[in-house]
Amino acid sequence: MTNVSPVAPRVATTPPPLAMVIFGASGDLTARKILPALSDLANRGRLNERFTLIGVARTEWSDEEFQDVARKADASGGATWARLVESFRYVAGEYAATKTFDRLKEVLAEADKNQGTGGNRLYYLATIPSVFALVAEALAKEGVNRPGEGGDFVRLVVEKPYGRDLASALELDAQVHTAFDESQVFRIDHYLGKETVQNVLALRFANAIFEPIWNRRYVEQVQITVAESIGVEHRGGFYETAGALRDIVQNHVMQVLALTMMEPPTWMDAEHIRDEKVKLLRAIDIPSPDEAVDKAVRGQYQAGVIDAAPVVGYREEDDVAGDSQTETYVALRLNVDNWRWAGVPVYVRTGKRLPARVTEITMRFHEVPFLAFEGTLSRDLRPNMLVLRIQPHEGISLKFGAKVPGEAFRVQSVSMDFGYEQAIHDTGMDGYTRLLFDAMSGDPTLFIRTDEVEQAWRIVDPYLEAWAQPGGGLHFYNAGTWGPHIAELLLQRSGDAWREPDL
Ligand SMILES: NC(=O)c1ccc[n+]([C@@H]2O[C@H](COP(=O)([O-])OP(=O)(O)OC[C@H]3O[C@@H](n4cnc5c(N)ncnc54)[C@H](OP(=O)(O)O)[C@@H]3O)[C@@H](O)[C@H]2O)c1
């Protein structure tokens, strides 16, 4: 019989009453992700009836104009959301001005009085990162970093990027921690809101067949691909300050890698899971900047063709410098120095304007010790592979050898596929919807703890440092290809090759 923990699972239906405040209320993320996610929660019956929203940004909107934006964000036109929207308020103001926060304090008190939000607050920093600390400190100065009368909690949700290197992340953390305790801080990585990322935990720890082979004895290499076919869209200005390493590797890739390769947690709760993730991140080798150059490739896309349509190069995109050195592609070779994974290379790549949008983790297993088939009959045989597809067509594929019908004993690789959608018929909530629900309910499991952020920056910092040198090794690739040719060489040196995703 299976031993199960005696702790009862927490099954929340609706979060407690609260007033949520969005900093960045007039911005892109609010319109495209946060408001649709909130309306989805409302229409699923997963928002408290005593929920209200307050938007804060510079744009001179009235309450009614903000309510209009919120209404339009709900494509379904749900009645519950429409009713809640009537209570939404908007504070127009600059975050550097005290009067913005004086006004916010009044509006919060009115929400408690009129909407019964009970002194509970959820602040969401969906604004530009350079003002994160300013806003957190202003909330503390105003005294609204503690619950209002009768309230139980105040939480601060923080968007990415959390710092732009280790030093700035530590500085931001120190500033945030003068205003909020770590237990109040919910750092978002929307990848963790994805069902299929969480499914990595189910696959590994709810099944008996995978964990015994999940180690260096059986796994020969691990590959993580986060490919996008889109370019920088309308966010060229932002991307110029980030690049692929900061935008994808430091956060999403490190999170996926940690969940895939960490030790089993004692219990599936926030502290145990995050303890294991940090332990795994600490085991990743950190090269010196000189060594980093050899273990990484950075690229930038040039004009090319995607889906049969011509697309411009990165340097021709809006708000991008004509001689930009920003990378839109990164490939890394990492090692995890612990008993489970020593000697197993972990190849990571991410890029924009690649041939397809696909995120997958591949565990490639060792070949059989001796192949007792005549060479020509087994030439189509590939090593066993387990592919965890995060997006799109979420699911799992197991690649193995099978006999081709006929007299000769010819073998070839075939695929056994599990599709999440077909099997479960419910892809669950969108990432932001799930994460907002968890933040309101006070469950930090899918949010990033301070030591995780810090460790992830420690890992990527040497690459940033190496690439900041003049001529920091930028390689070009045509849009619609799998990245610069030299990224192939990074693996060929060890006799390996990138797996071409099944499209
Ligand atoms: N957009 C995305 O797809 C996306 C995806 C993942 C993460 N994120 C993260 O989400 C955050 C917001 O991104 P975004 O794309 O929504 O940015 P954005 O469109 O530029 O919006 C920024 C918001 O912040 C407000 N703001 C900025 N400085 C202010 C100040 N000094 N005082 C008052 N208001 C100020 C702006 O108000 P006004 O315009 O009214 O002045 C606007 O509402 C960033 O941390 C970003 O990295 C965005």
Residue 452 CA to ligand 1 center (angstroms) comes to 24
404 or 70: which leads in pLDDT: 70
**For 208-219, what is the mean pLDDT?**
96
The verdict on 224 and 312 lying in the same domain is yes
Ligand 1 binding pocket includes 119 (Cβ within 6 Å): no
Residue 59 CA to ligand 1 center (angstroms) comes to 12
The verdict on 145 and 200 lying in the same domain is no
In a domain, 452, yes or no: yes
Nearest CA to ligand 1 atom 10: 126
In a domain, 204, yes or no: yes
Enumerate residues 6+ apart whose C-beta is below 8 A from 164: 129, 241, 242, 246
The verdict on 149 and 223 lying in the same domain is no
Give the residue among 85, 18, 21 at the shortest CA–CA distance from 54.
21
Residue 356 CA to ligand 1 center (angstroms) comes to 28
Domain boundary among 109, 141, 159: 159
In a domain, 110, yes or no: yes
Copy the structure tokens of residue 394. Answer: 């979420």
Ligand 1 binding pocket includes 58 (Cβ within 6 Å): yes
Domain boundary among 159, 183, 211: 159
Ligand 1 binding pocket includes 170 (Cβ within 6 Å): no
Nearest CA to ligand 1 atom 18: 27
Residue 198 CA to ligand 1 center (angstroms) comes to 28
**Which domain does 228 fall in, by range?**
192-492
The verdict on 401 and 304 lying in the same domain is yes
| Lowest-confidence pick of 49-58, 228-237, 427-436 | 427-436
pLDDT tens, residue by residue, 18-31: 999 999 999 999 99
Nearest CA to ligand 1 atom 34: 57
| Lowest-confidence pick of 253-257, 369-373, 429-433 | 369-373
pLDDT of amino acid 3? 65
20: which strand partners? 53, 122
Ligand 1 binding pocket includes 486 (Cβ within 6 Å): no
The verdict on 107 and 254 lying in the same domain is no
In a domain, 12, yes or no: no
Domain boundary among 159, 176, 206: 159
Ligand 1 binding pocket includes 422 (Cβ within 6 Å): no
The verdict on 38 and 144 lying in the same domain is yes
Residue 118 CA to ligand 1 center (angstroms) comes to 28
Ligand 1 binding pocket includes 5 (Cβ within 6 Å): no
- CA of 25: how far to CAs of 53, 54, 430, in Å? 10, 8, 20
Residue 365 CA to ligand 1 center (angstroms) comes to 44
Q: Structural domain tally of the chain?
A: 2
- Left (φ > 0), alpha (ψ -120 to 50) or beta: where does 22 sit? beta
pLDDT at residue 8 tops 50? no
- Nearest ligand 1 atom, CA 94: 32
180: confidence class by pLDDT, cuts 50, 70, 90: very high
165: confidence class by pLDDT, cuts 50, 70, 90: very high
State the number of CA atoms in the 13 A half-sphere of 389 facing the CB: 20
Ligand 1 binding pocket includes 60 (Cβ within 6 Å): no
Ligand 1 binding pocket includes 128 (Cβ within 6 Å): yes
32: confidence class by pLDDT, cuts 50, 70, 90: very high
232: which strand partners? none
pLDDT of amino acid 494? 87
Known catalytic residues are 252
Ligand 1 binding pocket includes 95 (Cβ within 6 Å): yes
Nearest CA to ligand 1 atom 35: 57
CA-to-CA distance for 181 and 134, rounded, in angstroms? Answer: 16
| Lowest-confidence pick of 153-162, 186-195, 381-390, 402-411 | 402-411
CA-to-CA distance for 228 and 355, rounded, in angstroms? Answer: 8
One-letter amino acid of 352: K
CA-to-CA distance for 90 and 97, rounded, in angstroms? Answer: 16
- pLDDT above 70 covers a percentage of the chain that reads 97
207: confidence class by pLDDT, cuts 50, 70, 90: very high
The verdict on 302 and 378 lying in the same domain is yes
Counting runs of H as helices and runs of E as strands, what totals does the chain give? 17, 17
Ligand 1 binding pocket includes 25 (Cβ within 6 Å): yes
DSSP 213: G
The verdict on 336 and 437 lying in the same domain is yes
The verdict on 265 and 210 lying in the same domain is yes
pLDDT of amino acid 11? 54
Ligand 1 binding pocket includes 29 (Cβ within 6 Å): yes
pLDDT of amino acid 303? 97
**For 317-340, what is the mean pLDDT?**
97
The verdict on 458 and 348 lying in the same domain is yes
Residue 262's CATH number: 3.30.360.10
Residue 30 CA to ligand 1 center (angstroms) comes to 8
Nearest CA to ligand 1 atom 4: 29
Residue 126's CATH number: 3.40.50.720
* Burial of 216 (C-beta count, 10 Å sphere; 0-12/13-18/19+): middle
Pocket test for ligand 1, best of 21, 23, 28 (most atoms within 8 A of CB): 28
The values of phi and psi at residue 199, to 5°, are -65, -20
pLDDT tens, residue by residue, 343-386: 999 999 999 999 999 999 999 999 988 888 777 777 778 899 99
pLDDT at residue 203 tops 80? yes
Residue 318 CA to ligand 1 center (angstroms) comes to 18
pLDDT of amino acid 2? 64
pLDDT at residue 150 tops 50? yes
Nearest CA to ligand 1 atom 3: 29
The verdict on 202 and 123 lying in the same domain is no
